[in-house]
Chain A
Amino acid sequence: MNRTHVTCMINDDETEFLCDNDESLLDALRDEVGLTGAKEGCGTGDCGACSIILNGQLICACLAFAPEANGGTIETVEGMADGDRLHPLQTSFLEEASLQCGVCTPGFLMAAKALLENNPDPTETEVRYAIAGNLCRCTGYDKIVRAVLGAAAQMRKNPIEGARP
């Protein structure tokens, strides 16, 4: 069967891969590109563990076809830190102990990043709304909300260089 050739930017790196036409973008990222940060929690768009940002939009990678990424820009959890310097959201998750088993963490980080890029000063309700599509079975969410609010405050004080306004 013919494989499709896809070229896209992933975490600021120009990347090429071959995939099947009916392969999910999640499988392609994990199996063809070797980026396993996005996880498969459900495979049906219900848990958010596979969340990534495609062309500025938060999506469930398990619901997108890999060829849709052609010519696009992808952000995954692997690209969040700047070298050794963690993104304020990452630091905040560490400080607030907002993770336990960690499988849901990359998805929450992506969802939170997408939120803060559009709304740097969210209310608690807005935070809850923005991450309502992500499931976590371990933490009971409370500390995740704290971490997102904490990171938002931090980022308003010290905006990340080069970040989109």
Chain B
Amino acid sequence: MKAVGQNIPHDSAVGHVTGEALYVDDLPPTQGEVLVDAIASPIAHGKLLGNNFDELRELPGIVGLYTVSDLPGHNRFGVIIPDECFLPEDVVEYVGQPIAVVAAENRRALRKAKQLAKLEIEELPPVFTIEEAIAARQFIGPTRTIQCGDFEAAWNEAEHRLEGVFHCNGQEQFYLESQAALVWPNEEGQILIHSSTQNPTEIQQVVAEALGLNFHDVISVCKRMGGGFGGKETQAAIPAVMAALVVRHTGRSARVAYTKDDDMRSTGKRHPFKIFYKAAFTAEGRITGVEFDLYSNGGAAADLSTSIMERALLHSDNAYHLPNACFRGTVCKTNLPPNTAFRGFGGPQGMANIENVVQEIAITLGRDAYEIRRLNCYDHGLRNTTPYGQVVQHHILPEILDRLEETSNYQERLQEIETFNRTSATELRGLALTPVKFGISFTTRFLNQGNALVNLYKDGTVQVSTGGTEMGQGLNTKIRQVVADELGIGYEQVRVMITSTEKNNNASPTAASAGTDLNGMAAANACRAIRERLAEFAAQHLSDAENGCAAESSCIHFGDGRVWDERRPNASIAFAELVKLAYLERISLGERGFYRTPGVDFNRDTGQGHPFFYYTTGAAVSEVRLDRFTGHLTLERADLLMDIGESINPGIDLGQTIGGFIQGVGWVTNEELRYSNKGDLLSYSPTTYKIPNIQDIPDTFRVDYLQNPNHQVNVRRSKAIGEPPLMLCLSVWMAVKHALSCVKPGAIPKLRLPATGEKILRCLTELDGSTSRTEEEIPLIAPSPLTTEPEPKRAAA
């Protein structure tokens, strides 16, 4: 039986339910291990004034305390722009930035040192918001543009015009396992790092560079993560360097595990965006042109911000054909922790904006938003070229929309809801159907490669290792399934081994939803090479020349743990037996497979090209209920429909679909990052930062998939599923906007994302015409206290 397509439980499922599966901080301590933590900046922007840590070094239990001068290698890092310091040289740029690394025998000593640390920092004027950064002209990288047609002409000739500003806030990844690293000294100055990272290769490189080692002196491994969601794509680096630095100075193994509070305060999140939009459209609702000016809050360093902006631009069309479009994207530099990857990687923000525009077009025209969506949706054959020049092919977007409209009873429910809203004084209901089109591939071409190592043992069992990391998404399970089928053996005969730079070098991060695509194909390629050698040998072994059956490797088949010649199927041999014989014949039983995605190419300078191998698409209908007196929001029902190709593992893909959607629902509803006017995150624990809990799941929740016979590419004709479902959440936010738009027909509710109860209430009050303080008057971050006339101040913390 084939393994691909089966509902095989997650590779580590038994370990998870018994508690045996180990994460970094579960690994038992080795003799002499020390615990490591950071002394972090309490100031968002300031100058370091000769801090003296000698007193702390003398505290009982303290093993060492290290600052930038103790770093043997270089201090700058950053995957795109090397503008970030491991430890600050003279200026701190965000609250929570590590200033010194402290190593101790036990937790108590670590806590004491952190409490007693006296930092002398002269405050400098900070910049926190996009508005402040624009005013100060503080940007990261150049403004990037994607355009097609002639927006100006479309605007001038427009039958209808719309313009406004769309805001969306950030989001904390909230992986349940916080950032962690455990570093062991090895012989001759080499080190071994266990890191909870989506990118062991980058950990290897940054640690080597920080310590002044060669890459080959550092091994970086990752068995699994307790969630990543993008937050461990680059930001696992600082904790890894902290522990490695201690190992370098003490020769003892070193462990760092952030507390959730420290993790939330000091690491980057999904980028807040502010988008200025203009749209031209016909009386019928057809969009003739758009102009979007996107600004993101990048935080204090580049990190992945420019790539995230690129993806936001590349998804500013979502599923709509825009004949004349101009998208511009600028990353703002501020004094918040460097913002970073989070599932969707800019896609959600770009798509939220166009969906909001479409919703407002509908309100302006007094039409139903779904009509406008369906009218502008990418079509087949024509009206299917994106603003960046890639043609949307082999898709079933219109079919998905039509099907969902029908299966969710959209039209009847809409009627019923609008009638309800006209009569109810206590509640409002809303409904929205939104599509998702998400491009699969890294938009940076060279990252679209993967390698895998397949080792076959004499008993016929297999170990496979890839550069991909397991963070719960089920990558290892899918790799096992693919390998089992390639070799025609049982799933149990295959094991996926720990991810290590020692086996899989120069790997790309497990990101962009491409983990299975890249690593699965690399593993399949390795298996095919082995199978070819085995087939040649088996052909000899199974031939019967006397009876006219000469050795012919193309006649050899592998399946169900056996190998046979199609001309003599009864003379089959067990796979394990064949492997043993092949070994004796000195046939190589191992292979390193390699894969690069064909055809992808995108020119950043022209903003044109073919950045995506294919698209994963889908749509969702959500129905919400709002309490008119409290603003309380209830998600009553959600129907999801996606095209995910041929699923390698339906159980895992269903989990990704539901989990991604709900994570998105958190972003658009309750997850609100609040900072003090000093740039200190106030919502830094689950006490104040509300990720969806079980009570937030809709009572009626339907998930389905639509077959797409036109999708012929990719590993086993599957499609990437990691990120796309998240953006189905936009239907929830649009449903809220729909509900609010029923208060005063024709008036556009000025709703921000997330739609917290508080914001909904404010919007309601505004629409009802009673006085309310608007969002502009109570911004998410109060204006910086020091933007005018900085008075040098000393802060002791």
Contacts and interface: CB of A to CB of B under 8 A. Distances in A.
Contacts of B25: 36, 40
Contacts of A145: 694, 697
A95 B175 contact: no
Contacts of B695: 128, 132
B13 interface: yes
Contacts of B652: 97
Nearest to B175: A137
B239 interface: no
B19 A106 contact: yes
B438 to A, nearest CB: 18
B659 interface: yes
B107 A90 contact: no
B62 to A, nearest CB: 15
In this complex, the interface size class of chain B, counting residues with CB under 8 Å from chain A, is 35 or more
Nearest to B658: A140
Interface stretch (A66-74, A77-85, A115-123, A154-162): A77-85
Contacts, number: 172
A12 interface: no
Nearest to A41: B176
Contact of B655 (A94, A132, A139): A139
B472 A138 contact: yes
B224 interface: yes
Contacts of B658: 139-140, 142-143
Contact of A101 (B20, B226, B261, B697): B226
B177 A39 contact: yes
A35 interface: yes
A73 B676 CA distance: 44
Contacts of A37: 18-20
A81 B697 contact: no
- Specify which of A38, A40, A86 lies most central, judged by the most chain B CB atoms within 10 Å of its CB: A40
B10 interface: yes
A49 B227 CA distance: 13
Contact of A136 (B176, B656, B685, B687): B176
B550 interface: no
Contacts of B261: 42-44
A106 B225 CA distance: 15
Interface in B655-673: 655-656, 658-663
Contact of B176 (A39, A86, A90): A39
A90 to B, nearest CB: 4
Interface string A97-120: 101111111100100000000000
B260 interface: yes
B17 A94 contact: yes
A77 B13 contact: no
A42 B20 CA distance: 21
Interface in A7-63: 20, 27, 30, 34-44, 46-47, 49
A148 to B, nearest CB: 10
A95 B685 CA distance: 32
B471 interface: yes
A99 B174 contact: no
Contacts of A49: 176
Given A39-B176, A43-B261, A77 B15 contact: no
Contacts of A47: 176, 260, 686
A56 B532 CA distance: 59
A97 B663 CA distance: 18
- Specify which of A103, A135, A137 lies most central, judged by the most chain B CB atoms within 10 Å of its CB: A137
Contacts of A95: 9
B21 A102 contact: yes
B655 A103 contact: no
Contacts of A142: 658, 697, 701
Given A39-B176, A139-B659, A101 B224 contact: yes
Given A94-B13, A140-B697, A100 B659 contact: yes
Interface string B670-714: 000000000000000111000111110100010000000000000
B797 interface: no
A77 B22 CA distance: 13
B10 A99 contact: yes
B16 interface: yes
Contacts of A42: 260-261, 685-686
- Specify which of A35, A43, A103, A106 lies most central, judged by the most chain B CB atoms within 10 Å of its CB: A103
A12 B654 CA distance: 38
A104 to B, nearest CB: 6
Nearest to B688: A46
B267 interface: no
B18 A128 contact: no
Contacts of B224: 101-102
Nearest to A96: B651
B575 to A, nearest CB: 27
A94 B686 contact: no
B176 A97 contact: no
B260 A131 contact: no
Given A101-B224, A102-B12, A140-B662, A128 B19 contact: no
A141 interface: yes
A57 to B, nearest CB: 20
Given A101-B472, A103-B23, A109-B17, A135 B655 contact: no
19 contacts: A36-B19, A36-B22, A41-B686, A46-B686, A78-B18, A78-B19, A97-B654, A97-B655, A101-B175, A132-B694, A132-B695, A134-B694, A136-B176, A137-B659, A137-B663, A138-B227, A140-B661, A141-B692, A142-B697
Interface of A: 1, 20, 27, 30, 34-44, 46-47, 49, 76-78, 80-81, 86, 89-90, 93-95, 97, 99-106, 109, 128, 131-132, 134-145
Given A41-B177, A80-B18, A104-B176, 11 more contacts: A34-B28, A36-B19, A39-B23, A41-B260, A100-B659, A101-B176, A102-B10, A105-B17, A106-B16, A140-B692, A145-B697
6 closest A-B pairs by beta carbon, nearest first, are A37-B19, A101-B472, A102-B16, A103-B226, A140-B662, A100-B472
